[in-house]
Amino acid sequence: MKKYQVVGIGNAMVDVLARADDGFLDTAGVQKGIMQLIDMDRAVDLYDRIGPAKEISGGSAANTIAGIAQLGGRTAYVGKVKDDQLGAIFAHDLRAQGADYATRLAPKTETAETGRCIVIVTPDGERSMNTYLGVTEFLSPDDIDDAQMADADWIYLEGYRFDGPDSHAAFAKAIAACKGAGGRVSITLSDPFCIARHRDAFATMIRDHVDLLFCNRAEMLSMYQTTDFEAALARVAAEVDMVACTDSGNGVHILSNGARWHVPAVPTDIVDATGAGDLFAAGFLWGLTAGYDLESCGKMGNLAASEVISHIGARPETDLRTLFAKHQLL
């Protein structure tokens, strides 16, 4: 048995969560419902404009790893923070969930700071993310431990990470070490605009290395540059062993080896949609590595997602194993 069920690689961030209406988004120049990269000056300006905010450790893949760890999974995370206050908070929170986290800290002398994502949540529960990458942008191949990757059943790669200058090389090193030891590779597409920036790189990785693809409907359509959802699903199913494509209130479509399952969404009053895809992946990957069938994995993913969108913040507040047991999945 390998040491880890899942090792995640992504942008290590602290989320700054605030509520505002659509009028604020227009006034502040924030595009609704997507992730925008911003610099430090813009981060400071936007922080000054928002009202009361809540700071919570985040980062897409880190949220997924935290969810798997909360379920009792054997996990580790790779993502860069600075030796500063937010970096210490991030590291503490992830380790407290039970995940291994040993990525080398950027020194205090580094000009860039620990990354943060200013998440503005509108009354409809939609989140608009404004991301200052900071030092997490500079994760490099030197931060990838070959032995750790080789000791993982699966690695989980965050699409947002494609924006870093050395990200492709870091991913390539992780993939080679993992697959060389018989492990498998999963990736989340993360965001339509991220796909637009790196479509060719995504396409090559999906075709040549990915065993399990996570995405939502908008990301799938962006990836294959079509408005035909069924055609996009058919294309990706021909390239990847397993696909889990979430479709908001319509649940999730799972495709593997010519078979297809549709798992309905769990009816939920949405408070904050931040982390829905991250926790879906957590539930799905935990179920998969624990030996459950794909339909059950989809149900676990949907339940984990429903929990996280029922409150502010992208980390679960309810014990997920208890939730799964309540729905007779364990």
CATH of the domain at 67: 3.40.1190.20
- For residue 57, the model assigns a pLDDT of 87
Q: Into how many domains does the chain fold? A: 1
Alpha carbon separation from 71 to 19, 97, 99, 306 (Å, rounded): 29, 9, 11, 15
Asked whether the predicted pLDDT for residue 255 surpasses 90, the reply is yes
Phi first, then psi, for residue 252 (nearest 5°) are -135, 145
Does 34 reside within a domain? no
- For residue 44, the model assigns a pLDDT of 83
**Dist CA 35 CA 191 (whole Å):** 7
**Dist CA 261 CA 228 (whole Å):** 19
Does 314 reside within a domain? yes
**Dist CA 277 CA 275 (whole Å):** 6
Contact 80, 56 (CB under 8 A): no
pLDDT category, 156, cuts 50, 70, 90? very high
Mean pLDDT of the chain: 93
Contact 242, 254 (CB under 8 A): yes
Does 298 reside within a domain? yes
Asked whether the predicted pLDDT for residue 272 surpasses 80, the reply is no
Q: From 232, 178, 59, 224, select the one nearest 129 (Cα to Cα).
A: 59
Does 30 reside within a domain? no
Over residues 2-29, mean pLDDT: 93
Does 28 reside within a domain? no
Does 273 reside within a domain? yes
**Dist CA 54 CA 328 (whole Å):** 34
- For residue 5, the model assigns a pLDDT of 98
Beta bridge partners of 57: 14
- For residue 215, the model assigns a pLDDT of 96
Strands of the sheet containing 184-188, edge to edge, are 100-101, 75-78, 4-9, 152-158, 184-188, 212-216, 242-246, 252-256, 259-263
Does 74 reside within a domain? yes
Over residues 163-181, mean pLDDT: 93
Alpha carbon separation from 193 to 33, 148, 217, 223, 266 (Å, rounded): 11, 31, 13, 10, 27
Question: What is this structure's pTM?
Answer: 0.91
Beta bridge partners of 242: 212, 256
Percent of the chain topping pLDDT 90: 76
Does 48 reside within a domain? no
pLDDT category, 305, cuts 50, 70, 90? very high
Alpha carbon separation from 110 to 82, 86, 106, 118, 166 (Å, rounded): 8, 14, 6, 22, 17
- For residue 65, the model assigns a pLDDT of 97
Over residues 174-191, mean pLDDT: 97
- For residue 252, the model assigns a pLDDT of 97
Q: For residue 213, what are its two tokens? A: 């693809």
Residue 20 is which amino acid? A
- For residue 189, the model assigns a pLDDT of 95
- For residue 241, the model assigns a pLDDT of 96
pLDDT category, 167, cuts 50, 70, 90? confident
Range of the domain at 223: 4-10+60-109+136-326
Over residues 315-320, mean pLDDT: 90
Higher pLDDT residue, 234 or 273?
Answer: 234
pLDDT tens profile 84-114: 988 998 999 999 999 999 999 999 999 999 9
